[in-house]
Each structure stands twice: as C-alpha cells, then as structure tokens.
Amino acid sequence: MLDTTQIQLIESDVESARITLYNLSDELVDHICCAIEDQMRNGKSFDEAYALLKEQTGIKVLQSIQENTLYLTDKKYRLMKTTMKITGNVALALLGMGTVMKIFHWPGAGPALVLGFALLCLFFFPAVVYINHREGKSKGGPIMNFSILVGGVGLMAGILFKVMHWPGASMLLLGGWFFILFIFLPTLLYAKLKDAKSGFEKRVYVLGVVALIIFELATMFKMMHWPGAGPLMILGSLLLVAVFLPLYTNMRFKNVELKTGQFIYLITISMYAVVLTALLAMNVSKDILGCFVRSQDNGTAINHYFEQKERILAASNTVKDSVVMMNAEKIKHVSEETAKVKNEIQNLKLNLVQEIEQVDKQTALAAISESVKISKKDNYDIIDHILFDQNGNGLANSLKGKLDTYRELILKLTTSNKELSESISRILDTSSKKNYNTMVSWEEDNFKHNPLISTLALLTALEKNVSMVESSTIQYINQ
C-alpha cells in the first residue's frame, strides 16, 4: 500500500498535466496508484514501479485522455475542436496565398488576406481560447481568457486594417495592445507566480514578463511610428533572448525528462521572433536607401550649379543696360524671395540631420553634401516629430505656407505667359492628393513616415525646383 507522500507525488504529477475534468483526476491518481501497488507486490520498489509506469504514460498520455473524454462527452468542445482544425488550416492557406499574391502584385491578394484574417479572428482564435480553457491549460481564469481573446482579435484585426490601409487600424492595434500588455501579461505573471516552486523560478518569470512587456511596447512604438522604438526593442529582445530564454530553458528542461520536441519548438519560435524583429527594426532595405543617396547627391550637385549659374551667365550678359536697369528691381525681388525659400529648405535639412545624427553644424553640412556619411538614413520617428506637431502645424506645414506664398508671387510675375505660369504652378504644386479614398495633405503625403535619406532627397529636389523656377522667371523678365 502506498503512503501519503507517495500518493501526493502522484497527485502533483497528475495536477501538472492540468487534468481539471470532474472525477477524472481522482480516477487517474487511483489508477496509477493501483498499477504501482500491483508492481510492488511483484517485488519492485515504488520508485522503480513509478518510473516504469511514467515511461508508458507521460503527461501527454494523461492529457490525451482528458481531450478524448471531452471530445466524447462535450458537444461544444467537439464543435470547437473541428472549427479550430478547419479554420486554422484554411486561414493559413489563404494567408499564405495572399502573401504570395501580394508579393507578385497579382490580383486577389486583398480578398484572400481579408478572408484569412477574418477566419483567424472570428473563428480560429476564439476556438483556441475556448479549447485551452476547457483543457485547463489556461490557469488565470476568465480575466485571462477574456483579455487574450479581445487583445488578440484586436491586434489581428489591426494588422489586417493596416495592411489594407483601412481607417481605424491604429485604434484597433492600440486597443489590442492595451489588453495584452496591461491585462493579459500581468494576469499571466500572477498565475505563474502562484505556480512557482522556488524564489529563482519566481524571478525568472518576473524577468520574462517584464522583457515581454518591453518587447511588445517596442513593437507598438514601431508600428505607431513613435520615437524611441529602437532602444526599447534592443533592450526587450536582449532581455528576452539573451537573459530570460537561457534561464527558462535551463530551469524547465534540467530535471524533467528530455522533451526534445518542445525544446526544438521553443528555440525555433524564438529564432523566428528575433529574425523578424531585426527585419522590422531595419525599416527599409539597404538597396533602396542607396538609391536615395544617389538622388540626394545628384540634387545637391544641380543646386550647386544653379547657385553659380547667375554669376557665370552675368559675365556674358548681352542684354542692353537700359533694360537691365528696368528689370533690376523685379529680378532683385525674385532673387531675394527665392533665397528665402531655399534658405528655409536648407535650414530644415540641417535641422533634421543635426537632430537625428546628433552632430554639430559643420558635420551636418558635410553629411548633406555627401549623404553616404549619414548613419541613420532610415530613421523616420524623429523626422515625424520635428516636421509634425500634435495639431498638424509642424515645420512641414510652415514650409508649405512659404512655398504657397512664393508660388503666388512668381505666378503674378509670369501671368502674361500662360504656358510658363502653368508649368510653374505644376512644379510648385502643394495641393492635397487622393490616396486610398481619403484626402492626404501635401506635407503628409511627402513627409509622413518618410526615412531621413529620402526626405533629404525630396527637400533637395524641392530646392532644385525652386531654383529652376527662379531661373526661368528671371529669363522671362529679361526678355
């Protein structure tokens, strides 16, 4: 006959298999005890007999008994399990196909992605949460189930909205993150702490959840284009991968029987997370950044030419002095106004490079004329911060105002030549554009979420346009 400590050992093992079904845990404990007692009557020790039995009936077998019982006795569970299997497979196929179609720009990518995500959000995910709950795998109770359900669906719907450029994506993402960061993860931590057997284990769990919260916050910052995502992400992923994961695997797999499958799964998933994070953190691929470097340097060269042009051409000026005198006033005015606008653009570039690279004026100027020297070419968080304030009245908006005034001035001067004034008004156009059925202002269309290097190239091109307009206008006045 087994003593109380032996029975308690078996009970705790059955409990760790999360057998929650009515009567079933008692039955399994009794069954295991009976089988061990039989073996012991044949002369084996308790330890031997239990080790032998465990080989045949590990935690997985106990769990499968519960799953089979639920499957037989619970209609809703059966339905959910079928739903989970079918919608999971179909959604995966749809999302996979959708992604491939999106990459190759084939038609039908949108509907495939929408349908896949809808299946995932509305059927697969709720079914998974329900099944986990029924199998007793989620220990945090209704709050945890509710928060992961709402948060998870919110996040997935948010990603879909973001991919499809539907309005409201940010709200969904933020809402989903709120539930996961501030309700689900703390409840998970609470449940884990209640389960923890040693102080070391407790500290590992706290570390894990804190790392996860930092990591998720970083992802959220990244997706919302808030500044500070980079350092948060580095901190979060370092804590998660370099500190928490080794401690956790060491703790989990040291004494327990070797669970190769689970271990491989854990490592693979972590690797995916790290690689995807790295890709996400890079913002834009290097090749594309290289294109903008060339475009920026090319633009700088042209602007340099325009600066010299008036001086070079003045030397070989053939226009009569009397005419020059007459137009001098007008030309001086145009040159002054042009200089003001160009100054504004140059200051903006300088401002951006200095803020982002954290360098002095001299270094920033050198970097602008040879943009390969810029190290944070793909930064757009700080740009957004500088160019746009909360009310949409940032520097981008004031630049637009200056361009508008300049354009009006030039149009007034060239109004007698319709073709010229129309070209100029096209070159200096700052009107809003229609993008995915919503009106987007000129400054948002050009500068929102635009990496540093392409923003510089854009500003340089703008400067070039202004110089061209100046040159044509002066030429027109001189005729």
Binding site for another protein (CB under 8 A): 1-4, 7, 21, 23-24, 26-31, 33-35, 57, 61, 64-65, 68-69, 71-73
Smaller CB distance to another protein: residue 24 or 411?
24
Cα Rg of the chain (Å, integer): 33
Smaller CB distance to another protein: residue 68 or 82?
68
Smaller CB distance to another protein: residue 12 or 285?
12
Smaller CB distance to another protein: residue 34 or 276?
34
Smaller CB distance to another protein: residue 65 or 428?
65
For residue 28, the cross-strand partners are none
For residues 305 and 448, the answer to whether their CB atoms sit within 8 Å is no
Smaller CB distance to another protein: residue 68 or 358?
68
> Which letter, b or e, does each residue of 12-50 get, where b requires 16 or more Cβ atoms within 10 Å of its Cβ?
ebbeebbbebeebbeebbeebbebbeebbeeeeebeebb
What is the nearest approach in angstroms of another protein to the Cβ of residue 56?
A: 9
Long-range contacts of 88-91 (CB under 8 A, 24+ apart): 88/124, 90/116, 90/119, 91/116, 91/117, 91/119, 91/120, 91/124
What is the nearest approach in angstroms of another protein to the Cβ of residue 31?
A: 5
What is the nearest approach in angstroms of another protein to the Cβ of residue 58?
A: 12
What is the nearest approach in angstroms of another protein to the Cβ of residue 7?
A: 5
Q: How far apart are CA 234 and CA 6, in angstroms?
A: 47
What is the nearest approach in angstroms of another protein to the Cβ of residue 42?
A: 14
Smaller CB distance to another protein: residue 41 or 254?
41
Residues composing the chain: 479
What is the nearest approach in angstroms of another protein to the Cβ of residue 2?
A: 7
Smaller CB distance to another protein: residue 57 or 346?
57
State the CB neighbour count (10 A cutoff) for residue 268.
10
For residues 25 and 136, the answer to whether their CB atoms sit within 8 Å is no
For residues 341 and 348, the answer to whether their CB atoms sit within 8 Å is no
Q: How far apart are CA 250 and CA 113, in angstroms?
A: 39
Three-class secondary structure of residue 435 per DSSP? strand
What is the nearest approach in angstroms of another protein to the Cβ of residue 79?
A: 16
What is the nearest approach in angstroms of another protein to the Cβ of residue 57?
A: 8
Residues 6+ positions from 41 with CB-CB distance below 8 Å: none
Residue 384's nearest CA partner among 453, 460, 449 is 449
Residues 6+ positions from 101 with CB-CB distance below 8 Å: 107, 108, 109, 112
